[in-house]
Amino acid sequence: MAYVHVAHDCRVGDRCIFANVVTLAGHVTVGEWVTIGGLTAIHQFVHVGSHSMVGGGFRVTKDLPPYVLAGREPMRYEGVNIIGLRRRGFTGDKLATIENAYRVLYSSGLIFSDAIKKIESDFPQSEEITTILSFLKNSSRGIIRS
């Protein structure tokens, strides 16, 4: 949309929607099917995971995992992007798996590394779990918190 700025060395996946005045600083990576609300600034070197959605008027200074809905100031996890995922054909079982994985990460009280280990051990391998774990393990800026 109007006045979107994508700075140097950014990578933007397919089928993304950036509302008015979204600003990506240098070296930002945005996955596929990402929606970013208007007047949102994304800090340099941040990674935004596929199928996530960011509310409008916020600053994104930490990595945003895939499949999540994020908002507030400071930026935080608001839940799973259920509506967007349903529109893209994710089944109820896949949605439940994603929600349960993020429940371990954000609501179990475990430290980050222990939450990753629990997701690895307690969840059957699936494309969604592999995507989440890969993103979490490769995050260099740290992820948004709840």
Q: Which residues share a beta bridge with 92?
A: none
Active site residues: 8-9, 26
Phi and psi angles of residue 59, each rounded to the nearest 5 degrees, phi first: -110, 130
Q: Judge if pTM exceeds 0.85.
A: yes
The domain that holds 22 is classified in CATH as 1.20.1180.10
Q: Give residue-wise pLDDT tens across range 133-146.
A: 999 999 999 999 98
Number of structural domains the chain divides into = 1
Query: Domain of 99?
Result: 1-146
Q: Give residue-wise pLDDT tens across range 69-105.
A: 999 999 999 999 999 999 999 999 999 999 999 999 9
Tokens 């700025």 appear where? 5
Measured between alpha carbons, how far apart are the two ends of the chain, in Å?
29
Q: Give residue-wise pLDDT tens across range 41-71.
A: 999 999 999 999 999 999 999 999 999 999 9
- Structure confidence at residue 32 (pLDDT): 98
